[in-house]
Amino acid sequence: MKPALIRNGEQPGESETERAARLIRCAGARATPARVRVLRLLRSAPTALSHHEIEQSLGDLALDRVTLYRVLDWLVATGLAHRNADTRRTFRFSAASSSEHSAHTHFRCDGCGRVFCLDAAPPPPPKLPEGFLLSRIELDLRGRCAQCAGSAQ
Amino acid sequence: MKPALIRNGEQPGESETERAARLIRCAGARATPARVRVLRLLRSAPTALSHHEIEQSLGDLALDRVTLYRVLDWLVATGLAHRNADTRRTFRFSAASSSEHSAHTHFRCDGCGRVFCLDAAPPPPPKLPEGFLLSRIELDLRGRCAQCAGSAQ
DNA sequence: GGGTATCTGCAACTCGGTTGCAGATACCCG
DNA sequence: CGGGTATCTGCAACCGAGTTGCAGATACCC
């Protein structure tokens, strides 16, 4: 849902920041630096990020641990982001894309735990036991990412 | 405990216990009551169980927390069981089946977190980024199980 | 039945995530 | 532009899942 936009970009950086801020306000909350920075980061990340990775990426101006958790929770609650537990049982967050679909394909690395979002074709619709409600399909590929496969293990 | 006996299955119960013990010995370890009981439980469970659920199921004669973790780790290490993080980021364990395949289909309930193993058809082979190694494919269905869908949420 | 490597149970610890509360601030409104 | 207030942030303390180290118990080999 992005209504066409508005200010045609000034600096690409500013433009993206503005967009994140707008998405947040649309969701009915204050566009605080914490939220804007986190959402912008998620939107530009190629993989789903863990709490720890996000903290690192924010660098020196890192937020308080708790604030970051709350920002992430809020993003997930409003649907601006998704949350998944990785193979090492830590949560990973990714921005919800506009081309959001209920079927997703991920690659989960058994080495480093990272999650890569693939564009692969959506899997076929399955049949479920009686009474079960389906809300989302996810195809999960497990193995080692290029980096982990390269290094001896 | 577990008075001896009866090799060559008679009572179905005993038989299953004996089988679990044999699997454990085959894997090169001692068939202690702790391991036998846990493996037997996993093998008879319809869904993947959490550490907590296993503790409950063992009832009064429950093992020490740590022992249970170690038994589970050992089962996973030897390949007799599988471990998965559920949507609430706790590990769930299931017995490895003899008809083991590298492609699996699970239903994960967003309500209670339980994981159901379905026999659904294996998904089609995907294409991966350069350098990635695939070891396993898993089709993940998300939604609500019959029980959680039934109760108001 | 005895000896010993392997297991078990206890206690203390780590780590990811959560809760409560006081102080700060984005945003509405005049 | 400045003030008031509901919303956010940061701190500190907490919780629950999982892990580690070690002393005592025990399955299994002989």
Chain segment A95-140, per-residue pLDDT in tens: 987 666 667 788 888 888 888 888 776 666 678 888 998 888 888 8
The mean pLDDT of chain A is 82
Task: Count the helices and strands in chain B (H runs, E runs).
Answer: 5, 6
In this model, does residue B8 exceed pLDDT 50? Answer: no
Closest CA to A117 of A127, A109, A130, A107: A107
What pLDDT, on a 0 to 100 scale, did the predictor assign at position B4?
37
- Average pLDDT (B19-48) is 94
Which CATH number is B103-150 given?
A: 3.30.1490
**Which of B137, B141, B150 minimises the CB distance to A126?**
B141
Asked if pLDDT for residue B153 goes beyond 60, the answer is no
A66 touches strand D (CB under 7 A): yes
* CB B71 under 7 Å to nucleic chain C: yes
Distance CA B52, CA B63 (A): 11
Nearest CA in chain A to B123: A123
Q: Which of A90, A132, A138 is opposite residue B140, by nearest beta carbon?
A: A138
Chain A positions touching B152 (Cβ under 8 A) are none
**A7: pLDDT confidence band, cut at 50, 70 and 90?**
very low
So what's the pLDDT on residue B130? 87
Residue type, A74: W
- Closest-approach nucleotide to residue B21, Cα vs C1': D27
Lowest mean pLDDT among A135-139, B3-7, B17-21, B147-151: B3-7
Q: With contacts defined as CB-CB under 8 Å, which chain B residues touch A129?
A: 107, 116, 118, 146
What's the pLDDT tens digit per position in B47-103?
999 999 999 999 877 899 999 999 999 999 999 999 988 888 999 999 987 655 667
CATH 1.10.10.10: does it fit domain A12-95?
yes
Residues with Cβ within 8 Å of residue B89, at least 6 apart in sequence: A85, A89, A90, A91
Task: Note the pLDDT tens digit of each residue in A22-67.
Answer: 999 999 999 999 999 999 999 999 899 999 999 999 987 789 999 9
Q: Best interface-test mutation with B: which of A128, A135, A153 has the largest number of B CBs within 10 A? A: A128
CB atoms within 10 A of CB B36: 23
The bridge status of strand B133-144 relative to strand B103-109 is parallel
Query: Is A63 within 7 A of strand D by CB distance?
Result: yes
If pLDDT is split at 50, 70 and 90, which confidence band does B2 have? very low
User: What pLDDT was estimated at residue B138?
Assistant: 84
Please state, in angstroms and rounded to a whole number, the distance separating the CA atoms of residues A95 and A93. 7
pLDDT above 70 (res B21): yes
**CB of A57 under 7 A from strand C?**
no
Domain boundary assignment for chain A? 12-95, 103-150
> Cβ contacts (< 8 Å) between A85 and chain B: which residues?
85-89
Is pLDDT of A4 > 70? no
| pLDDT digits 0-9 by tens, B98-147 | 655 667 788 888 878 888 888 776 666 678 888 998 888 888 888 888 88
Question: Which comes out higher in pLDDT, residue B44 or B149?
Answer: B44
Judge whether residue A33 contacts strand D, using its CB and a 7 Å cut-off: yes
The rounded distance, in Å, linking the Cα atoms of B106 and B92 is 12
User: Which stretch of DSSP H or E encloses residue A118?
Assistant: strand A115-118
**Is the pLDDT confidence value at A75 over 80?**
yes
